[in-house]
Structure 1
């Protein structure tokens, strides 16, 4: 097999995931709406946290970081998808493909780790209320966030380096996905891609299964701590502080888990179903996160009311 003896780097890739979707024009309008909403919601959330000194705590430091991740993730993904639809341009150069692959996956990983850090903060606050202020300080929380970003960078850099070592038979391979996704790209290679499969499995474990397992164990400990509270009102108030985080976790993890569970059970999953499910799991969390956290957090609502009163324009009469 001659193609195994030479290294062939493609000119670029052709992304055709959305071409096979029926009535895809409506879906692109939906993507545009969600993207604008994600930008407005997250910038508003960051402004509230930045302006309110009462929110300069470890809990809201993580939320501020999550908003940065959401804005960046949406910007790395959605505008390119809309551009493909508006100009019917599915072609993307090799370097541009790897760049998009890195940033989309990087911010996906950091979002997963942000939810883990939130679970850790809730665990310490509820299980160790008297010591939480000394266990988690702003400085330590900043260090944890920086470490999570560095870990995500290392994982994605390793995956990207392995992609550059792959040889492709066609000058412009066709990628069945809605962006330059890691899995669909390396599957197009002619050369041995077993190291890419291995890092893809590592990626799933490090980004989906281990974070979700930690979050579940955290809430087992939280539920045990809440059950020791004597009053019903106290238990409900404590658990209510976790509701926003639990909703974010469900929105982020469930679509991906459902997709891969179906694929595992039935071996093959419909391409359109996979693309819709994975794309929704990527674009909806950045849109919904600021809405949920704003509506479900009393501290946030109170600070919004204060800022509205502070900057409200008084009538001239």
Structure 2
């Protein structure tokens, strides 16, 4: 990770943590200040609506107090969950037996602001398919590595990984993929001009469909291939979310650009029941939100996740 990014993240967390410490140290003063502004706001509401009934005035004050209390608590919880300690529900069985369906886990939302993910880390990330859902998978391939799956085993740079077995499902089959890293050159090569083959006359409809469900790219545009430094590899769906690039691909144009960040290959421990990098390609570093580290529900299985 670049020193500049680490410094920026350090400054941000120093500022944010200092704010929380000041709130804790100056709790009484802050509470009194909020109470003062809350009272002033209640009076303003009463004045604007010309409320004369003492009972109604009392109701307004109670409502303002309640809304402020709940609102402040929600803001604090959201800040803590986004930047410090994430709270996630795992809905599927893709990580069985490590994580079971409906398990709740805490995620360390700080760690990847200062270092890169390591192999075997279980991460929470925004998936590149619909571009909105959070997935939980295990990092198995790192930037720049060559990966393949043969006879139930994952190979990294031709070295067999024996921590668990993996099936060669999805698009990887028996191919060797190069995981993109920052500075690499990526080429997206369509096999045809799809504007003449797609039934819809409105290219915007096709773009919207692929932007919503880019995981179906290979079904709609079966001859689109991705290359990293001249070597064929898995899908890099971030570029499909770029309207201009998608427009060129649909017109049969080869898209060539330099990669500006690192990517990772992520896999589910439940290899035959996981929708992961084998099906939709690689995860960009900016999509990674945090590291899963402890299960807190159900209580009978509470403990570290690894």
TM range (shorter): under 0.3
Give the TM-score of the pair, scaled to structure 2: 0.23
Higher RCO (CA < 8 A, seq sep 6+) = 1
Task: Give the structure with the higher percent strand.
Answer: 2
TM-score by length of 1: 0.23
Q: Highest CA radius of gyration, 1 or 2?
A: 2
More helix by share: 1
